[in-house]
Structure 1
Amino acid sequence: MFSRLIALRLCLICALSFAIVDAGQALAQSGGEDAHLAIENPAELSKEEALQIYASLQRRMAQGYAAAQFEQLRNYQNWPLFNDAPYISATHGQRFVNSYANRMAHNYGTLQEGEKLPIGSVLAKDSMTVTDEGNTHPGALFVMEKLAEGTSPEMADWRYIMVMPDGSLFGDTMGDRADNVAYCHDCHEAVADRDYTFFVPEEYVVGN
């Protein structure tokens, strides 16, 4: 229990660091002094409203992330989607997010305690910021890739990647700027019994 509390605290630190990154982005994109409040004060949206806003940004987001040229993320928006509408994720800077998983991660939605995802599983969580003033813009793309056993034992063989909306790389634990995203695994240790993967809030699970 104590270790989970520590991990959850690290999640909040993780969220704060993402908020700082997003604040600078928001200022650049909106030009408004209040843009940096978007993370602290996200809009209250119905599922229908969140879906409409996501639809308006979806193509722009996909094109921006594609500039990073990660082959394993190609056409990620065509992968199975596990939430029925974008939802706010506290551990991703209070952004509205969507949880996609590639076909290799076939058991992501039904993963039981002690089970693991297959090698080659990729989870992609795209994000958008919606302010309470009605400003909207894409956020970062958060990625987890399951590596071959023994490839990255300090991170339970998970690779963490964060791609900015313009396709620039914020960090890759198996590549450039690894230190920028190393703390992601500290957060995910809170769900080690689910192969270090969080799932969709119950009220947003597809079919519920």
Structure 2
Amino acid sequence: SQPVLGDLTVTSITPDSVGLQWSVPEGPFDSFMLQYRDAQGQPQALPIDGGSRSVTVPGLSPSRRYRFHLYGLRGGKRIDRVTTDIVTATAEPEKPLLPSEEPQTDDSPSEAPPFEAPPARAVLGELRVSSITPSSVCLQWSVPEGPFESFMLQYRDAQGQPQALPIDGGSRSVTVPGLSPSRRYRFHLYGLRGGKRVDRVTTDIVTGE
């Protein structure tokens, strides 16, 4: 029988992100793909692990309508699709206005003083496994908001020694060799900007036998 997607519902909305969740009344799916257009009208595609039932979409613009299509994939084919429309929240000024700066009337937003948008953050997407062997793992990630100058992958080897793998800022995947079979590893990927760790994502894997 064909797998079936349940409703795509909104769990949270901010000025720059939305949380979505869905059910799988009949399944399973191998993976999911979320598609939408960004504020510039460019199509975006977010691959999602088949075990997930929710996703947070960062990097959106305030007070804007978005349409999200979630596809359920099996055997490399799109089997089912669900769609939802959302409008992101209005951006709020970071600091409350001083009394002298308050607009004269509450119903004339045009008189409110403009505020500076905060500098764009750099944000890491989910750290996902693209392949596993007994002695290596290939990891991939996205950068919904960026850029980062570089990345750093940290983990402990089979002897418990900390390892750090520097990665070029343009990369979106890395292969980690020299692992031991049938062993659990936890990988932390840090995004660096200005020499500082700005964001971190983590994933646990078990190597092949």
TM-score by length of 1: 0.26
Pick 1 or 2: higher relative contact order, CA cutoff 8 A, min separation 6.
1
Q: Which structure: greater strand fraction?
A: 2
TM-score by length of 2: 0.26
Larger radius of gyration: 2
